[in-house]
Homo-oligomer: A and B are copies of this chain.
Amino acid sequence: MALVVQKYGGTSVGTTERIRAVASKIICYRKKGHDLVIVVSAMSGETNRLIGLANEISRQPVAREYDVLVSTGEQVTIALLSMALQECGQAARSYTGGQVRILTDDVHSKARIRNIDSSAIKRDLAAGRVTVIAGFQGVDENGNVTTLGRGGSDTTAVALAAALEADECQIFTDVDGVYTTDPRVVPEARRLSRITFEEMLEMASLGSRILQSRAVEFAGKYNVPLRVLSSFEEGEGTLISYEEAGMEQPKISGIAFNRDEAKLTIAGVPDHPGVAYRILGPIANDNLEVDMIVQNVGQDDMTDFTFTVHRNNYDKARQVLRRVATDLGAREVTGDPKIVKVSIVGVGMRSHAGIASGMFESLANEGINIQMISTSEIKISVVIDEKYLELAVRALHEKFELEQE
């Protein structure tokens, strides 16, 4: 008998038929003797419908009211799922974020969870009830509705699992686990039975959109075993946990890629202390998030500075950078929105040399030019021309033998 937090995403509860199917699934788990806390998202399409309404009223809806609006999406799902459970004879009770109460800071649409009052949930569990909690939402100290931002339901589930000291947090989604890479690109891609928090974090932030990074981070911080499973198929999914001592780690666990970035270069910048700040400060002031940053070694007291931003922000960042270039007396600003980032991820890298050279060799063999390189302890990312994406991912998948267990 375990205490399990399960989260069902928007596709899993996209219709009343699917909600009934989720209820049956929950009742099955319940019959195995588990205590269950269920976190749900809005029915797929609902959040977009609500945002559409807001945009008909205002191009920049007031943040406080935006949260009041979109939080209704999850509220509809908790009510319907609780009804479905009770229709099948399973005692259940729904809670909005405010009712739980999930206390957050007051940053609307990007709130962070501060504290969870788990007393009502514990009472329900003791009474044999399944509790159904609205993901993605909370309240601030003054009782204003807040939301955690898109994908925040994962974070709600993990935070609840941490607060309740649950045995496992299961994220049900439309894929049956975490793969070595996107199977649409590499048909031989293999589902991983296990992956570490750190690796998952790299995979998530690098573009494998199965789990929200913050949820993985949170799970790692509170050591909540996290499992990604399919809502529609049976299976063990992928368990995300800490590296176990003595566990033989593969060198590379997976290959992530991201098509959403664009590259900008400011060339011929005087190579002085503080120049990086003078370039990136104005970018940050415009709320443009920067991902990879590379500064080449200077020549003749001049240097080149390259970074990537989200492709949607490319034009805006370019304008800012042109102003900066004039201020600094830089030679020129160039850019390219048609790039992709490809990364190999694996905790095994720590103890194995030659991974990076293996990656570069493999890309060179395919004639793929590397435009930028960035590394961390457990990942190596390269930026390449977007037309080579599939070729690169397939070559690396084969090179590191990821199709094999």
Asked if A79 contacts B65 (CB within 8 A), the reply is yes
Give chain B nearest CB distance to A40 CB in angstroms: 12
A185 interface residue (CB < 8 Å to B): no
Chain B residues near A68 (CB, 8 Å)?
Answer: 75, 78-79, 82, 94, 96
Residue interface bits A80-98, CB-to-B below 8 A is 1, else 0: 1011101100000110101
Determine whether A259 belongs to the interface, using a CB cutoff of 8 Å to chain B: no
Q: Given A16-B53, A53-B16, A93-B64, A58 and B83 touching (CB < 8 A)?
A: yes
CB contacts (< 8 Å) of A144 on chain B: these are 99
Q: Give Cα A78 to B57, complex, Å.
A: 12
For residue A19, CB closer than 8 A to chain B, the reply is yes
Query: CB within 8 Å of B: which of A44-96?
Result: 50, 53-54, 56-58, 61-62, 64-66, 68-69, 71-72, 75-76, 78-80, 82-84, 86-87, 93-94, 96
| A19 closest partner in B (C-beta) | B57
Q: Does A33 contact B (CB under 8 A)?
A: no
List A260-281 residues whose CB lies under 8 Å from chain B. none
A75 vs B145: C-alpha distance when bound (angstroms): 11
User: B75, A57: Cβ atoms under 8 Å?
Assistant: no
CA of A145 to CA of B82, assembled, Å: 14
- The CB with the most chain B CB atoms within 10 A, among A53, A64, A68, is that of A68
Q: Mark A9-26, 1 if CB is under 8 A from B, else 0.
A: 000000011011000000
Q: Interface size of A by Cβ–Cβ distance < 8 Å?
A: 37
A69 CA / B19 CA spacing, docked (Å): 14
A358 interface hit (Cβ, 8 Å): no
Of B50, B82, B99, which one neighbours A62 at CB under 8 angstroms? B82
Closest residue to A86 on the B side, CB-wise?
B62
The answer to whether residues A83 and B62 also contact, given A53-B76, A72-B75, A76-B53 and a CB cut-off of 8 A, is yes
A65 — which chain B residues lie within 8 A by C-beta?
Answer: 78-80, 82-83, 86, 94
Residue contact A50 to B76, C-beta cutoff 8 Å? yes
- How many copies of the chain does the oligomer comprise? 2
Q: Tell me if A57 and B76 are in contact (CB < 8 A).
A: no
- Residue A99 contacts which of B50, B66, B82, B143 (CB distance < 8 angstroms)? B143
> When the two chains form their complex, are residues B57 and A20 in contact, meaning their CB atoms are under 8 A apart?
yes
Complex CA gap A99/B168 in Å reads: 34
- Looking at A56, A62, A79, A82, the one whose CB has the most chain B CB atoms below 10 A away is A79
In the complex, which residues of chain B have a beta carbon less than 8 angstroms from the beta carbon of A84?
Answer: 57-58
Could you say which of B19, B20, B56 contacts A16, with CB atoms under 8 Å apart? B56
Known contacts A64-B93, A98-B98, A99-B143; A69 and B58 CB within 8 A of each other: no
A53–B16 alpha-carbon span in the complex (Å): 7
Taking CB atoms, residues of chain B closer than 8 Å to A96 are 68, 145
Which residue on B lies nearest to A61, using beta carbons? B83
Task: Determine the distance from Cα of A94 to Cα of B69 in the docked complex, in whole angstroms.
Answer: 10
Cα A68 to Cα B98 with chains together (Å)? 12
In the complex, residue of chain B having the shortest beta-carbon distance to the beta carbon of A43:
B53
Closest 3 CB pairs of A and B: A69-B79, A16-B56, A72-B72
